[in-house]
Amino acid sequence: MNNRIPAVLTIAGSDSGGGAGIQADLRTFHTFRVYGCSVITAVTAQNPCEVRRVDVMPADSVKSQLECVLDQFPVQFAKTGMLANCEIIECVAELAEKYALQLIVDPVMVSTSGARLLEEPAVAAMQNVLFPLARWITPNIPEAELLCARPLKSPADFAVAAQQLYERYHCNVILKSGHAISSDQAVDIVCYQGKLFTLSSPAVSIKSNTAHGTGCTLSAALTANFATGKNWQEVLIAAKAFVYGSLNEHMCVSDTLAQMYPPLNNYSDKVRLNEL
């Protein structure tokens, strides 16, 4: 079959505003020409300014969705986003192991607008049950602070934290810098098999609401690019370039709402992956 494309999976929450969650993931999968399946863990009622309500799906429903997808689609690469609680994390871990999924885990805990998206006791479950099964985890700085149980203030702190998370869980780490941009570059810290790298693109200065969904978009772009068989360096560069491009080519959907949008141009030449 010469019209075959990879099937990939997102296990995440719905964002009614379409900026983050499942909606960002499917938009990203489509842009990279992979086929996206989606398992919904929660339905959020939100717009770029606020999360008004969260309805978490029963873990049994998540399990059925996963079984339906994995019984038929040859999914190798999957990402997780909002997982909401311990029961859902345990069910995802069980099936990820059973079907030998290569997992990219975005440890979503709190939305950009401040809403809690993971119950407090589930933070430990995510670390103990899911991280050891992950190929990559992609915490942002507030999430890494929770995971490391200390404040992270400087690029030196970020590097130590990324290495520590790698050593603790044996999964590769992208520590996202968006919450600490102080220069004209957005510099993420990568720990791949114990070695440290910086992954950087130009910083984009825009209204903060527009940056809603960057984390989801990055992890979905990683998943899509792994599925198309690129090596890890190419994957990280393509994914970072896609997030940069989505911000750089954001679209206005009203006089006041600007949203990330899949870019028309390729920005891989704007991204650098260097040993630290």
Task: Tell me which residues touch ligand PXL (CB under 6 A).
Answer: 12-13, 15, 20-21, 44, 46, 81-82, 108, 111-112, 117, 213, 215-216
Min CB(215)–ligand PXL separation in Å: 5
Concatenated DSSP letters of 88-102? HHHHHHHHHHHTT-E
Closer to ligand PXL by CB, 55 or 167: give it: 55
Closer to ligand PXL by CB, 11 or 159: give it: 11
Cα 152 from Cα 130, distance rounded (Å):
23
Q: Residue type for 138, please?
A: T
Cα 107 from Cα 173, distance rounded (Å):
11
Q: Six-digit token pair at 88?
A: 């859902």
Min CB(93)–ligand PXL separation in Å: 19
Min CB(200)–ligand PXL separation in Å: 21
DSSP type of residue 178? G
Residue of 240, 10, 250 whose CA lies nearest to 106? 10
Closer to ligand PXL by CB, 6 or 19: give it: 19
Dihedral sign for Cα atoms in the order 175, 94, 132, 55: positive
Min CB(110)–ligand PXL separation in Å: 8
Cα 34 from Cα 76, distance rounded (Å):
12
At residue 54, φ and ψ (nearest 5 deg) are -130, 125
Closer to ligand PXL by CB, 63 or 176: give it: 176
Closer to ligand PXL by CB, 156 or 181: give it: 181
Min CB(139)–ligand PXL separation in Å: 12
Closer to ligand PXL by CB, 27 or 163: give it: 27
Closer to ligand PXL by CB, 80 or 163: give it: 80
Min CB(12)–ligand PXL separation in Å: 6
Concatenated DSSP letters of 104-152? EE----B-TTS-B-B-HHHHHHIIIIIGGGEEEE--BHHHHHHHHTS--
Cα 16 from Cα 212, distance rounded (Å):
13
Min CB(181)–ligand PXL separation in Å: 17
Residue of 220, 169, 212, 175 whose CA lies nearest to 193? 169
